[in-house]
Amino acid sequence: MTPNKEDFIKAIYELGGDQNVVTNKALVNQLSITAASVTDMNTRLLKEELITHIPYQGVKLTEKGSLIANQLIRKHRIWEVFLSEKLGYDWNEVHADADLLEHASSDLLIERLNQFLEEPTFDPHGGVIPNKDGTIPDIESTPLIDVSLGSSFKIKEVDDQQEFLEYLLFKEVQLGKEYTLVDIEPYDGPLTLETDSGDRTILGHKAAFKILVEII
């Protein structure tokens, strides 16, 4: 296994490849490599039985491949917690460093680090940390876009993209913060959230897809 292979498998997983077939095109976009390079890597992973492949359609992870993806994500997210809680990184800063560290972490190191951090369940943007055996604790949460007018909720998880996290930092939307949905404009218009103290935040329609909440 190499860092490149690991990241490729993770990319398939993040595109839903443990359930559905993922196209080459999707991987081209996700990883910023050429279509030919995707085909190359596919044949390599196929040989190791980490994926299945339907010609001209795409790839899916095998059990073995899924396990590798989940264990890599575990490492990634445990490092993100460390960077955030112990080294004072903002939540939009953790991803890049964790993306390197995840490939340089022995199992022993991750288990000790996990102990040191007191076995966290979530990473800094609310992503759930897979268990050591590759299983995933299931957490109930609703996309903000599905919340009905007047409901109150708590922020549970937000999308992991650098710019989106920066945007939320600016908007002061944080994990665990509570709001009531006081307005939704039609035709994919903006949503207005209000805190207990009456502060209002307006978010676009697309942003509401990238935020998961728990109704309270």
Partner DNA sequence: AAATATTTTTAGTTTAGACTAAAAATGAAA
Partner DNA sequence: TTTCATTTTTAGTCTAAACTAAAAATATTT
> Of 92, 96, 87, which Cα lies nearest the Cα of 116?
87
Q: Which is nearer to DNA, 3 or 143 (CB)?
A: 3
Residue 66: CB partners within 8 Å, gap ≥ 6? Answer: 13, 18, 134
Asked if 33 is part of the footprint of DNA (rule: CB under 7 A), the reply reads yes
Q: What distance in Å separates the CA atoms of residue 164 and residue 160, rounded to the nearest whole number?
A: 7
Choices 2-10, 80-88, 113-121, 173-181; region in contact with DNA by CB under 7 A: 2-10
Q: Where do the DSSP E strands lie in 55-141?
A: 58-61
Shortest Å, Cβ 65 to DNA: 14
Asked if 8 is part of the footprint of a second copy (rule: CB under 8 A), the reply reads no
User: Measured between alpha carbons, how far is residue 141 from residues 179, 180, 212 in Å?
Assistant: 15, 16, 6
Choices 17-25, 106-114, 119-127, 159-167; region in contact with a second copy by CB under 8 A: 106-114
Angle at 80 between CA 24 and CA 134, to 5 degrees: 60
Binding residue for a second copy, selected from 28, 113, 169, 175, defined by CB under 8 A: 113
How many CB atoms lie under 10 A from the CB of residue 88? 8
Asked if 7 is part of the footprint of a second copy (rule: CB under 8 A), the reply reads no
User: Measured between alpha carbons, how far is residue 132 from residues 49, 51, 141 in Å?
Assistant: 22, 21, 23
Residues in region 55-94 near DNA by CB under 7 A: 55-58
Shortest Å, Cβ 84 to a second copy: 11
Contacting residues toward DNA, per CB under 7 A: 2, 4-5, 8, 23-25, 28, 32-42, 44, 53, 55-58
Residues near a second copy, by CB under 8 A: 83, 86-89, 96-97, 100-101, 103-106, 108-109, 112-113, 115-116
